[in-house]
Structure 1
Amino acid sequence: MRSVLYLLTTLIVMGLAFWAYRENYRTQATIAEMSDVQHQIGRLREDLAVFRAEWAYLNRPARLRELVNLNFDRLQLVPFGSDQFVDVGQVAFPAPTQPAAAVAAAIVERPAGYPPRRPQESTP
């Protein structure tokens, strides 16, 4: 009876040792994989920093102005002027599908700093 108990105990200890051995190697492989991913993240962050620096370098106003001047005949780009901005009330939106009372109720008061609305002309 004791020999069976010794045999079972030995088999259990060997099984647990095998399981611990496998888990140890699986853990080491996972740690190595995680280290590789961390290094890859670091390289990608460095690449992103380089791309951001290149983007900032290529979008310098002096460089863009020079490109506009070189390609003016083809693109005809001109600087923005204050006459190009209009009030939202001057934009022609499609006619609403809701009744006029519902549209009037949905109008929100304009924030401070906006010029007052111009009275809208009725169209025949």
Structure 2
Amino acid sequence: MRSLLYVMTALGVIGLAFWAYQENYRTQDSLKEVRQLNRQIASANARLRMLQAEWAYQNRPDRLRDLAELNFDRLGLLPLMPDGFGRVDQVAFPMVLPSELGRVIEVSSDGDAEVTE
């Protein structure tokens, strides 16, 4: 009976050693993956900082002003001036006729649209 207990204890220790061995290598693999992900995150953050700096450089007011002047004939852009802004009550909104508010547009499945008054 004692020898069976010794054999079972030895098998238990061997089993636990095998389990600990596997867990050790799984942990090392997980740590390698975490280090790799941290390197990727650091690289992505560095790229993001570089893109933000480039965005700020490209949107400098003096550069945009020069581009607006350079492409005035083609785009018709005017420089921003403090007196170039207005109030909302100065905007001329298009008039909506009451007859247009009551229009119903029925659309069928074959793509034909029908306007009813």
TM-score (norm 2): 0.70
Counterpart in 2 of 1:84?
85
Partner of 1:120: none
Q: 1:14-53 to 2 correspondence within 5 Å?
A: 14-53=14-53
SS in 2 for 1:85: coil
- What's the offset of the Cα at 1:2? 1.1
The 1-side partners of 2:48 and 2:92 are apart by: 40
SS at match of 2:87: coil
Q: Which has the higher contact order (CA 8 A, sep 6+)?
A: 1
Q: CA RMSD in A?
A: 2.4
Q: Do 2:68 and 2:77's aligned partners in 1 also have CA atoms closer than 8 Å?
A: yes
Quote how far apart the aligned CAs of 1:72 are: 0.8
TM-score by length of 1: 0.66
Q: Pick the structure with more strand per residue.
A: 2
Q: Which runs of 5+ in 1 are unaligned?
A: 96-124
Percent of residue pairs identical = 47
1:92: Cα distance to partner?
A: 5.0
Matched residue pairs, number? 95
Structure 2: gaps (5+ residues): 97-117
Q: Deviations over 1:31-68 (max 9, x none)?
A: 11111111111111111111111111111111111111
Change over 3 Å in CA distance of 1:69–1:91 after alignment to 2: closer
Moved more, 70-79 or 16-25: 70-79
